[in-house]
Amino acid sequence: MGEDGGARSAVHAADVTGAAAAARQAWRTAEAAASGARTHPGAPPVPPAAGGTGRPRGVGLAGAALGIAAAGVALERLTVHRAVRRRARLALDAAAPYGSLRGTPGSVSAEDGTELYYETDEADASPQDPPPGPSPDPPPVTVVFSHGYCLGQDVWHFQRAALRGKVRCVYWDQRSHGRSARAPVGEPVSIDLLGRDLKAVLDAAAPEGPLVLVGHSMGGMTLMALAEQYPRFVAERVAGVALLGTSAGGLAEVTYGLPAAGARVVRRVVPGVLRALAARSELVERGRRASADVFAGLVKRYSFGSPRQVDAGVARFAERLIESVPVDVVADFYPAFAEHEKTAALAAFGTASGPQALVMAGDRDLMTPSEHSERIAAALPRAAFVLLEATGHLLMLERPEEVDGHLARLLARTIRTHGSTAPPASRPGPADPARRRPGL
């Protein structure tokens, strides 16, 4: 077995007896923590439930969640192959190239002063020297990628590798994610604010020329917020749009793969639990590190439709992206999804003369089920809808070849109607067909 195969086997190795014992210990620890949380002087006040007994609603569950986080230490000690799996994860981190591609860095200040980080990959210029003086050609198409919740620009690794040098691309980190700065403490986050953040990035990184906007999950919602607030900008500048694994609203209907009753409980208690965890973020982060095996299992379940078929290095890459987001950032952003409703905003993308559109979803997406993408596609008359079988939420990592191929076709349609991808100075004139760049 090769080194990669050995690492993969080590990552998937598990001791059933140890895991079961850890689960029992975690439950006992959670119960004790829940009991203590009810009288903890530092616990945030929670109003009693209507018609209840006066017991603070959600505090027991928040305490249980804290106990489970703390019980990661017990899980770590009781898992026989913990050290083996840790070494395998480190080996995958060192060997895998995922997230290693870098471009020309830049940053811009959002309306509240938050520094937003982006990188630009330019299209390859012609090896021949351009003529002196300004070019009369229009600026090239720029493709701008917006990532989702608890991710970062590096999640587009495969798409970046496929498009590198072929078309001008901009990748940015949403506020409080990746290399962008943390938003001001206590300031609420909204999808509308993210749309204005994107506008600031576009003004700085692509001030002229046609745009193709690509958004995944929260990134797709960000595109909708941009369209709602800047419809004239979209009409004048946006030549293409790709919405991957996202939603225009109705996220309260999502069950996350749970029974209906369980999903209702989760929706009711998660905001309070997240606030409680954010208040004890240092403890939670230690628990996340100690219970890495449990965390990895959750990431696989909610990221991939066929987790057993996902390369171990890719799965580990997804873990790294998600675990890099602090729990208080998770808590800050979560309420915005309950308020998200942008169905009407799709009209800016759906006019007869509007942008070319691509809508993609995985049929096993538990976070933004494919029905949400189907509704988006129905509102966009120029949209191509693609449903990927046995695929989950992180479709760009799980099915990179299919995503890359459909993006390339969208870009080809856009470029045919809006010009070349090459830098203006390097573009051949009509009398020089030998220098024409082949279509993407």
Does 131 fall in a domain? no
Is residue 108 domain-shared with residue 244, that is, in the same domain? yes
Residues 353 and 407 in one domain: yes
Q: Say if 389 falls within a structural domain.
A: yes
Q: Are residue 238 and residue 325 in the same domain, yes or no?
A: no
Q: Are residues 77 and 26 in the same domain?
A: yes
Q: Which two tokens stand for residue 83?
A: 């050290």
Tokens representing residue 412 in the block? 């080809």
Report yes or no: 355 and 362 within 8 Å, Cβ to Cβ.
Answer: no
Q: Is residue 192 part of a domain?
A: yes
In terms of domains, do 88 and 110 share one?
Answer: no
Choose the final residue of a domain: 306, 334, 362: 334
Of 295, 311, 334, which marks where a domain is finished?
334
pLDDT, position 277? 63
SS3 384: strand
In angstroms and rounded to an integer, the radius of gyration of the C-alpha atoms of the chain is 24
Both 83 and 158 in a single domain?
A: no
344 in any annotated domain: yes
pLDDT of residue 76: 44
Both tokens of 34, joined, read 């829940």
Nearest to 317 by CA among 147, 7, 116, 100: 100
Q: Determine which helix (DSSP H) or strand (DSSP E) holds 239, and give its type and residue range.
A: strand 238-244
Side-chain-facing half-sphere of 36: CA atoms under 13 Å: 11
pLDDT tens string, the chain, 440 residues long: the values are 444 444 443 433 333 333 334 434 443 443 443 344 333 434 344 333 333 444 444 444 444 444 444 444 444 444 445 555 555 555 655 566 899 999 999 999 999 999 999 999 999 865 444 555 555 567 889 999 999 999 999 999 999 999 999 999 999 999 999 999 999 877 889 999 999 999 999 999 999 999 999 999 999 999 999 999 999 999 999 999 999 999 999 998 888 777 777 767 666 766 666 666 666 666 666 666 555 566 678 888 999 999 999 998 999 999 999 989 988 898 899 899 989 999 999 999 987 677 899 999 999 999 999 999 999 999 998 899 999 999 999 999 999 999 999 999 999 999 877 765 555 444 333 333 333 233 33
238-244 and 383-388: which strand pairing?
unpaired
In a domain, 12, yes or no: yes
- The answer to the question of residue 157 being in a domain is yes
Based on the domain organization, do 236 and 153 belong to the same domain? yes
- Overall domain count for the chain: 2
The Cβ-side half-sphere exposure at 163, using a 13 Å CA radius, reads: 32
Tokens (6 digits) for 205? 């990184």
For 325, list phi and psi in degrees, rounded to 5: -90, 120
Which of 300, 334, 368 corresponds to the end of one domain? 334
Check which CATH number belongs to the domain holding 117 and give it: 3.40.50.1820
Q: What domain range includes position 402?
A: 104-125+136-250+340-427
Q: Which residues contact 431 (CB under 8 A, 6 or more apart)?
A: none
Same domain, 146 and 240: yes
Same domain, 264 and 323: yes
Torsion of CA 336, 337, 342, 346, to 10 degrees: 120
What would the two tokens of residue 304 be? 């991939």
Q: Do residue 142 and residue 218 come from a single domain?
A: yes
Q: Are residues 276 and 297 in the same domain?
A: yes
- Cα-based distances in Å from 387 to 91, 295, 362: 34, 28, 6
On whether residue 164 sits in a domain, the answer given is yes
CB 426 within 8 A of CB 126: yes
Rounded to whole angstroms, the Cα distance separating 209 from 202 reads 11
Alpha-carbon gap, residue 1 to 107, rounded angstroms: 45
- Write out the E strands in 147-235: 168-172, 211-216
Alpha-carbon span 437 to 427, nearest angstrom: 8
Q: Is residue 436 a part of any domain in this protein?
A: no
User: Are residues 315 and 295 both part of a single domain?
Assistant: yes
